[in-house]
Structure 1
Amino acid sequence: MQRHADERGFGIVEVIIAMFLLAIVAVAILPALWQGIAQTATQSSTATATRYLNSLVEDAREAHSCTALTSIATPPSSATPMEDGRGGDLTVSGTVTNCSSGSTARLTLNVSGGGKVLASTTALIFIP
């Protein structure tokens, strides 16, 4: 059988083999891609919880009474929960200790979402 000059290039067999190899590489990369997407979602929730926690600490710094600090640490059950970017609810829990007028109170806050604590902090707040 003679080869003619116009028969050069890729044949259908080469194209099918190339597509098969590309499919194998794509399937091999898929678990890493899925893991990356899951990690991004988790980090997004953690970042939202951290920003929410920072805003609560700023609110606590502006509070000038033990009652205001306690309402920040333990919001009422009727309070609307904060939502993260994925639509999950973020809930706040915390404690206030050593709170009296003219002293420094210790405020401990936790922000939880999806059944686990996403962010927590302890702040010292002066009560005038």
Structure 2
Amino acid sequence: MRSSTHSDAGFSIVEVIIAMFLLAIIAVALLPALFNGIQYSSQQSSVATATRQLNSLVEQARQAPSCAALTSAAATQTFTDGVGRTLTSSGTVGTCATKKAVSLKLTAVDGSGTTLASTSALIYIP
């Protein structure tokens, strides 16, 4: 007669439950880092949108350089980012005269008044 051999290969249910419990503890420990990463990513998306908007305003002013174009670029404007937050851009124009480089300073803020981006440019008025 053959004797039956008992194989101890594999995991028991207790070992599987303990492994799942340890993985759950690690996952719970990583949740705050994941949450902070998502918040930071959203904030950086708003900063990137504000920077693009300000650069676009400067380029529009440079395409048709005039005192009116600079004043228009510096006027208060609102736009939304990818998340749907309303951002506001405004600026100041230096002394505007022909045959002179005029400074243009723009700033973009969010609804709470936090400055997200700012830029300065010199634009030559022919």
Query: TM class, shorter-chain normalised?
Result: 0.7 to 0.9
1:109–1:122: 8 Å Cα contact kept in structure 2? yes
1:63–1:69: 8 Å Cα contact kept in structure 2? no
Q: Secondary structure at the match of 2:122?
A: strand
In structure 1, what is the Cα distance between the partners aligned to 2:7 and 2:34? 43
2:65–2:123: 8 Å Cα contact kept in structure 1? no
What is residue 59 of structure 2 aligned with on the other side?
Answer: 58
CA RMSD in angstroms comes to 1.6
Percent of matched pairs sharing the same residue: 58
What is residue 106 of structure 2 aligned with on the other side?
Answer: 109
What is residue 124 of structure 1 aligned with on the other side?
Answer: 122
1:83–1:90: 8 Å Cα contact kept in structure 2? yes
In structure 2, what is the Cα distance between the partners aligned to 1:119 and 1:127? 25
In structure 2, what is the Cα distance between the partners aligned to 1:23 and 1:8? 25
In structure 1, what is the Cα distance between the partners aligned to 2:121 and 2:90? 14
Superposition deviation, residue 90 in structure 1: 1.7
Aligned AA (2:63): E
Give the paired residue count. 121
In structure 2, what is the Cα distance between the partners aligned to 1:8 and 1:108? 72
In structure 1, what is the Cα distance between the partners aligned to 2:94 and 2:70? 10
What is residue 13 of structure 2 aligned with on the other side?
Answer: 12
What is residue 33 of structure 1 aligned with on the other side?
Answer: 34
Flag as ranges the 4+ runs of structure 1 deviating above 3 A: none
Q: Secondary structure at the match of 1:5?
A: coil
Superposition deviation, residue 84 in structure 1: 0.6
TM-score using structure 1 length = 0.86
Q: Secondary structure at the match of 2:21?
A: helix
What is residue 82 of structure 2 aligned with on the other side?
Answer: 85
Runs (5+) with no aligned partner, structure 2: none
